[in-house]
Amino acid sequence: MKKLINDKKNVVEEMIDGYVKAHPEYIKRLEENDRALVSAKPKEEGKVAILIGGGSGHEPAFMGYVGDGMADGVAVGNIFASPPPAPILEVTKAIDKGAGVVYLYGNYAGDVMNFGMAAEMAEMEDIEVEMVLASDDVASAPKEEKDKRRGIAGEFFVYKMAGAAADLGYKLKEVADIARKTNDNTRSMGVGLTPCSLPQTGEPSFEIGDDEMEIGLGHHGEPGIRKATLDTADKVTDQLLQPIFEDMEINEGDEVAVLVNGLGSTPRMELYIMFRRVEQVLSEKGIKIYRSYVGDYITSLEMGGASITLTKLDDETKKLVDHPVNTPMFVQK
C-alpha cells in the first residue's frame, strides 16, 4: 500500500513532532519522555485531570483530544500498541493538580497491563489514580462477558463526558463514575470494507474479497464475527444497529447521542448516507437523537469501513455532552 512517509521506523516520532509544532498553543511534549504530551494551558489547581492514551494509528485519537473540555494529557504508543508505563507516569505527574488523575483507555490486554503498572507507580508518588476501561464493542464478546469486550469508537463518548465532568469540577470518584456510567450506556458495532497496512510491514491487515465486508471488525484490523457479501448502506446500517438494539436497554422516548465513525478511508458522503438510515430507524422506534457526531473520530490508518455508536443519555450526561470542547482535532461550541 502506498504511504507518504520517510523512514518507516520514525513515523510515530515524526507525527508527534509535526503535531506539537502545528498546535503549540494547545499541546506540548514533556522533556522527560518524548511520548508524553500535555495540554499547553496549565490546568486549574484542585481540578481532576484526565489522561488518555493508546496506540498510534487511530488519529485523531488519542492525542487530538487533548484540549479544553476533554483530556489534559496523552501517552502515545507505537502503532496499534499500548504505550509503556514510563510516558503514562510522566503525563500523570505533569497533569495532577492535587485532585487526582483519571486514566481512560480501551479494554485491551496491553493497555490494561501498562496503564496498571503506571497507576501503581503513580500511587508510590502519592498521586491518586482512577482507571476506567472502555468496552463498547458489541461484536467482541457476548453480553454476559462485557468485561471482555474491547473499546472502539464509543471511547469518544467516555472522554467527552469525563472531560466535561472534570472541567465542571466533579471530584475524582465522580468523574470516574461518569466515565463508567457512559461506558455502561454505550454500544458500538463496526464494519470493515478494506484493510489498513502497518507502515513497518506494508502488508494488508486482513484479507477480504472485493464484494465482501467484515461485520464486527475491530479497529486494529482484528477479524470480525463474520464475513458477508457487501450490501447497500441502509442494509449494512441495519445489520450494525440490530445487535446494538439486542444488547442495550433502550426504549421509546429514550434519548441518545449518535456517532457514525469512519475508519480512515471511507468518505463523509458514505458516513452521512449511513447516518440518514440510523436516524430513520431511531425515529421509527421513537428514540430521540439529542446530538450527532459524523466523521473520523477514532480511525485505523487507511482502513475502509465505519462503526455506529449509540450512547443513552440522562439529564446529567445531556449536560455533559453539551459542554464545549476546544482541541486541535475536535471543536464543539
Binding site for another protein (CB under 8 A): 9, 77-86, 108-110, 113-114, 117, 139-141, 148, 150, 198, 200-201, 203, 205-206, 218, 220-223, 225
Residue placing its CB nearer to another protein in the complex, 257 or 263: 263
Query: Closer to another protein at the Cβ: 194 or 317?
Result: 194
Q: Rounded to the nearest whole angstrom, what is the least distance from the CB of residue 74 to another protein in the complex?
A: 13
CB of 205 to another protein, least distance (A): 5
In the complex, what is the shortest distance from the CB of residue 198 to another protein, in angstroms, rounded to a whole number? 6
Nearer to another protein, 124 or 269 (CB): 124
CA atoms within 13 A on the CB side of 65: 30
Catalytic residue status for 219 = no
- Residue closer to another protein by CB (options 60, 223) is 223
To the nearest whole angstrom, how small is the minimum distance from the Cβ of residue 255 to another protein? 30
Strand order in the sheet with 33-39: 27-30, 33-39, 73-79, 49-56, 101-106, 129-134
Residue with cell 496549565: 42
- Is 23 labeled as catalytic in the residue annotation? no
Q: Which of 23, 219, 220, 323 is catalytic?
A: 220
* Residues annotated catalytic, as ranges: 58, 220
